Structure 1
Amino acid sequence: MTPADRRGGGGDAPEGVRLQKVLAAAGVASRRVVEQYIVEGRITVDGTVVTELGTRIDPAVAKVSVDGVAVQLDADKLYFMLNKPRGVVSSMKDEQGRPDLRRFTKDLPGRVYNVGRLDGDTSGLLVLTNDGELAHVLAHPSFGVEKTYIAKVQGTVQPQVLTKLKRGIELDDGPIAVDAAKLLQAGSGGGFSMVEVTLHSGRNRIVRRMLEAVGHPVVELVRRQFGPLHLGTLRSGEVRALTKVELGRLLTIARSDERG
């Protein structure tokens, strides 16, 4: 269905809901402001620029973007960020009775589940949602969503170690390279170093295995960034809803991968 098909015409009852009403309900802006966006050609529906104020859409299936940023029209979809503490497994119900994610989700307005996993010893950013399509894109390694970690490691990390990580090393399950690596703090006297690494691999415990392979076992590991999301000042164990800007960036990534 094209944008023209969504407009009611002739004597037939119009189908769908007016675009400005849908976007106002989604919290984008007031109807009047959205109408201005439409006239200015700033809104696309299913990839096509819409400039007619009479445009109607089916909010259940239409993919709408404003200024190139995707908008979620389904108010039942939930999106949260958790700063997962160490010692908590990335599961809604752990069969071994270990601390799991339920303590952080029990007061949320609906059932959610985690996107991907962080092992029990790793803390940091974990996305919680009930949006299965988005979760698939974010978690699947083929989509290449980047993750950034801060690692406290044993020993003094030399520049050549970072170069080696970027060029790639061989592990038991195949070759792997980080997308970026930098030294935040060099150890002295055989102490500890702080390293930031960014990669898009979804392999199990990959950061720990890579750093151990180059002679610097991980002592502590925190995921600070997941795609366009940053942990910021969110405290350990705290949960917050994603902002409209953050959600828009995530949805834009997902829809871009769908088209690709």
Structure 2
Amino acid sequence: MIDNENQEPEGVRLQKVLAHAGVASRRVVEDLIVQGRIRVNGETVYELGRRIDPEVDLVDVDGTAVQLDVSKRYVMLNKPTGIVSTMRDEQGRPDLREFTDEYEERLYNVGRLDADTSGLLILTNDGELAHVLAHPKFGVTKVYIARVEGKVLPQTIAKLTKGIELEDGPIKADKARLLDTSGGTSLVELTLHSGKNRIVRRMMAAVGHPVRDLVRRQFGPLHLGTLPVGRSRELTKVERGELLTLSRAAHETPSGQGEK
């Protein structure tokens, strides 16, 4: 007969898990629990003795997800031009391996940037998150800055947001704005959730303004900031929380409601 009274309780204390995750000290986490600011699997926790399984349970603080799975790695890269967005290019062109070799985990790129496009690329081994970020049905936006030929007029900006017809169907920008016009070129900012191939270049060419230079400055909640071209960094705790919150919300949304 098993003596249940002498068995160790299952799981790990919530305050210990969150302290280990870098949220706050155990004492502060206890205050957060008492204040009702922590949820486990969507339910607010008030018990200081609450135990969880860090490998299974989902925790958020003030509505922002907390990363408990330390095996997952999240990296931001400012991809230079001339690099193809693949881990091994069959044609022998420079690929992403030079930026992932320093990490122990096998990282993969979330979506792609053309070889002649620079900017924000996410590298991770979190397949579930990668799917949410890359699939257009979840509506995760990307912001691009394009230097284009010619003087872009306000009517053209309106046309981009109203919608244009391409060879593979209609497309429109979620947002578009003109940043600058000088020296025979214009600087245009486009916000899109489409994942179609070379979409910004094709859209701008369709309205008569071929792209000269293109950089992705933002992907979902992530901003490129001052990260130099050709450099990478791990996401901060706050950035990881924002991405995981987005990912969890996408999975809670009934199928189809996230589509645009």
For structure 1, the residue ranges without an aligned partner over 5 or more in a row are: 1-8
Q: 3-state SS of the aligned residue for 1:186?
A: strand
Q: What displacement does 1:107 show? A: 1.1
* Matching residue within 52, 60, 72 for 2:55: 60
TM-superposition CA deviations, 1:109-156 (whole Å, max 9, x none)? 322111110010100000011111111111111111000000000000
Q: Let me know the Cα RMSD of the aligned residues.
A: 1.2
Counterparts of 1:147-162 in structure 2 under 5 Å?
Answer: 147-162=142-157
Selected match of 1:230 from 206, 223, 226: 223
TM-score by length of 2: 0.94
Choose which of 25, 29, 48 in structure 2 pairs with 1:30.
25
How do 1:99-110 and structure 2 match up within 5 A?
99-110=94-105
Report matched runs for 1:8-23 at 5 Å: 13-23=8-18
Return the alpha-carbon distance in structure 2 between the equivalents of residues 247 and 73 of structure 1: 11
Cα distance in 1 for residues equivalent to 2:58 and 2:172: 35
Identity level (%): 68
Report the counterpart of residue 248 of structure 1 in structure 2.
Answer: 241
For residues 162 and 215 of structure 1, the distance between their equivalents in structure 2, rounded to whole angstroms, comes to: 12
Q: Which runs of 5+ in 2 are unaligned?
A: 254-260
The letter for the 2-side match of 1:67 is D
Per-residue CA distance 1:33-66 (angstroms, 9 max, x = gap): 1111111101001110001111111111111000
- Larger mean Cα displacement after TM superposition, 104-113 or 67-76: 104-113
Aligned residues: 250
Say whether 1:205 aligns with 2:207: no
Residue of structure 2 aligned with 1:95, choices 90, 109, 116:
90
Describe the superposition over 1:180-230 as per-residue Cα deviations: whole angstroms up to 9, x where unpaired: 111111135xx1110000010011111110000000000000000000000
Tell me which of 77, 82, 87 is aligned to 1:82. Answer: 77
Structure 1 residue 27: Cα displacement: 0.8
